[in-house]
Chains A and B, each alone.
Chain A
């Protein structure tokens, strides 16, 4: 991967990036671990903010500043506010009395190992599955590249137009569901 980048643009050669990568990755994993082990939900939420921000840092290191910005705006700024509101809506004291790991843990374990297998597969087969050119997007036009992929017409490069439109429907369903769920029974 690195050699491909170096070949196209010598000045983009990263300095000491492995250390930054391991630092950010450790931060993300440790805080993610805290998210699931803290008894206090707000502490978990704070840890989750750290996780999301360090993932944003990782995106930044992958020459995808736009995705990093989106990560901060949507996840750290938007979704976390929603989470905190939800936390405040529920009775927090009850969660203290509950067992920390409920009886559903075998399912969780199965899901986690399935996901891990998928990641492993992607990691091993990655070179073949993901073409090298994805790594070669020049940083200075990251936003334009993403925009081209999303909105360009189908002939050229916009292969995700339909997915983009579907996203709006997904959001619409989410807001309708939220209203219906919270509606006062007459």
Chain B
């Protein structure tokens, strides 16, 4: 293999920092594939989970338990008629979904899945993330305007007003986390995403527990604001079906519409990643201070394998519980294959975890560590993704005036107070 491929493998830096453009490109493609896959599975999971919340079955026909439903949907959307309304501004109508998607995808450059598992580490990481993700508002406004139709226009105005309102509380909550990064010997903080997690590592505490309850309150403010920021229930004013049909993308159809959905889910994952990075210790495993030693390391390194084993077990329970009829045979086999696939992944992870324990082993221990970092990061993000579904199933939609009141009159004062309190405590401790 050429030098530029192998030389990076031992590095502890992100490809961007190490100046290795080849691996940076590989990371970019992995992220694109990963996000697309995550959005598809999220689509399936959301429909299934919502259905079970409402004592329905959800998709059951396309593949075992509707597992192939996202693929079927993608094909359907591709073949659908691509309508541009007569009065629409064609150029802007084309560009609007692109703006949304670009804003949602470009932020992934700096998300740290591990200490070296990011495309690049920028010194303005968090500023860059908030800035670029705020560009998504432009896509929404422009889409509503281009449609030249009443529902999209009102939806676009509402949702953009909502997004900018909650961005304020969000930005202020982030500042209090940045303040906490400066509690080290040098006395200066950092805006770099990797630097923020490193600071939590050095201080030995996730920022959600720092200066209790200040970190917790800032986190809660952020967690509320991020739901509003991504236009999800109970803040899905933009898509209030009962009032606005589908909001700003009413006139969109086919894959063009799916770009908006892709952008929405990608944005959900990226804001969850910000929350995980800032307050939940990023790639760190839980209790990394309290439960130390090689025994605990081994136990925690088994978690990825155990997770996949659990998923495989669920799949096999599904196989057993399938009706014993001949017309379910294909579905049964399909689910069993899926279960074996998950089991195989679990086996691989198990081998890596056991064999990669020591430095002299056949599999370098860095592989084991990297899997651990990515696993814990993704697990924390996955919890947020499930919460997004849970919120949607549980809470009724806010009214627009309530929404604006919560954003400006409740969250903003709270986050400012927390910020000032954190600053005072931070200065007093120095």
Contact = CB atoms under 8 A, between A and B. Distances in A.
A/B: CB atoms within 8 Å of each other:
yes
Interface of A: 40, 42-43, 46, 49, 65-66, 68-70, 72-73, 76-78, 80-81, 84-85, 87-88, 139-140, 142-144
Contact of A140 (B95, B123, B128): B123
Given A76-B131, A84-B145, A68 B124 contact: yes
B271 to A, nearest CB: 15
B423 interface: no
A68 B142 CA distance: 24
Given A78-B134, A84-B142, 8 more contacts: A65-B123, A66-B127, A69-B131, A70-B127, A81-B137, A81-B141, A85-B157, A142-B124
Interface of B: 89, 91-92, 95, 122-124, 127-128, 130-132, 134-135, 137-138, 141-142, 145-146, 153, 157, 160, 164, 188, 191
A73 B103 CA distance: 12
Contacts, number: 70
Contacts of A85: 141, 157, 160
A37 to B, nearest CB: 15
Given A84-B138, A84-B142, A144 B91 contact: no
> What DSSP secondary structure best describes chain B's contact surface?
helix
Contacts of A73: 127, 130-131, 134
A106 B38 CA distance: 57
A73 B122 CA distance: 16
Nearest to B130: A73
A70 B127 CA distance: 8
B131 A88 contact: no
B376 to A, nearest CB: 28
Contacts of B160: 81, 84-85
A42 B145 contact: yes
28 contacts: A40-B89, A42-B92, A42-B145, A43-B91, A49-B135, A65-B124, A66-B124, A69-B124, A70-B127, A72-B135, A73-B127, A76-B131, A76-B135, A76-B138, A77-B134, A77-B135, A80-B138, A81-B138, A81-B141, A84-B138, A88-B141, A88-B145, A88-B153, A88-B157, A142-B123, A143-B123, A143-B124, A143-B191
Given A42-B92, A81-B141, A81-B160, A72 B131 contact: yes
B393 to A, nearest CB: 31
Given A68-B124, A143-B124, A143-B191, A46 B135 contact: no
**8 closest Cβ contacts across the A-B interface?**
A77-B134, A72-B131, A73-B131, A69-B127, A69-B124, A65-B124, A84-B141, A69-B128
The residue in A88, A143, A144 that gathers the most chain B C-beta atoms within 10 A of its C-beta is: A143
Contacts of A40: 89
Nearest to A74: B131
A66 B127 CA distance: 8
A42 B144 CA distance: 12
A77 B142 CA distance: 13
Contacts of B132: 72
A20 to B, nearest CB: 14
B124 A42 contact: no
A40 B90 CA distance: 12
Contacts of A143: 123-124, 191
The residue in A84, A139, A144 that gathers the most chain B C-beta atoms within 10 A of its C-beta is: A84
